[in-house]
A and B are shown apart, each in its own frame.
Chain A
């Protein structure tokens, strides 16, 4: 028997990254800023987007791609808030979105009418960290019911994100959650994170979030 070794040294994520580069170029050519919203399940991504669509949906020409393992409940919720396009991706078991799914979704979005794109990823703080979707930046959402050590438990996600939304701050009076400790933990894995403290339920903190989004559309956030 003649044993032969075929040297490869090919990055496993190479194909996804090529497609992500195509998505990024498409979005940049269309003048669209894209954010990839990542979080554990139940952090309030959809509620945050509902509020955002209510206030900025038309002003910023927002389109949304939602990813869920099953159901298109999130897309249905969002579609009730806007006439803008909400595109659902049901992954059928996969724990993350990949760049090819976003690329396919872009063909169904009116890019000329869109200036801001949110990709609401599958709720999961592990897997989506490794997939580049062609976004300008990842925004990690975590809620005050989740514990201050979330950034330490899931460091890669917080390292990959440029922005962090600490949501459900209306619940702080009823919890022992230490906001300063949570932010310190997050900064220990990513010193460059910018934070937003929000309650999608009451609207607290959303003005700063909206101001950030307006600015991101005016002057797109570089990768």
Chain B
């Protein structure tokens, strides 16, 4: 059950990063999850994906980056800032 708490905190951090980073449409939220964090990864992915359907994320994808140790961090937020590539 604590995976939902963790996913909520990831979304809070991502929303802060989005605000500080100038906004945009969120495409992807990437999270580093160490093997020793005690996080049940599929449960966490389910919770995070459910929360990412809501504003301001509105269907953004999730990426869980596995690694050794107990690091558990929001790695980055990928956004489309609406500008043309030209």
Contact = CB atoms under 8 A, between A and B. Distances in A.
A112 B65 CA distance: 47
Interface stretch (A1-9, A33-41, A49-57, A177-185): A1-9
Interface string B14-28: 100110110010010
A12 B6 contact: yes
Contact of B82 (A2, A7, A9): A2
A129 interface: yes
A8 B26 CA distance: 14
B73 A4 contact: no
Interface of A: 1-16, 93-96, 98, 126-127, 129-130, 156
Interface of B: 1-2, 5-6, 9-10, 12-14, 17-18, 20-21, 24, 27, 31, 36-38, 71-85
B74 A3 contact: no
Nearest to A16: B9
Dominant secondary structure at the B interface: mixed
A130 B73 contact: no
Given A129-B38, A156-B36, A95 B1 contact: yes
Contacts of A3: 27, 78-80
Contacts, number: 87
A6 B79 contact: yes
A2 B80 contact: yes
Contacts of B13: 8, 10, 12, 14
A171 B72 CA distance: 41
B23 to A, nearest CB: 10
A6 B5 contact: no
A156 B2 CA distance: 15
B78 to A, nearest CB: 5
Contact of A11 (B72, B78, B80): B72
Contacts of A12: 6, 9-10, 13, 31, 72-74
Nearest to B40: A126
Contacts of B76: 5-9
Contacts of B75: 7-9
Given A8-B77, A10-B73, A156-B36, A2 B85 contact: yes
A130 B2 contact: yes
B2 A94 contact: yes
Contacts of B2: 94-96, 126-127, 130
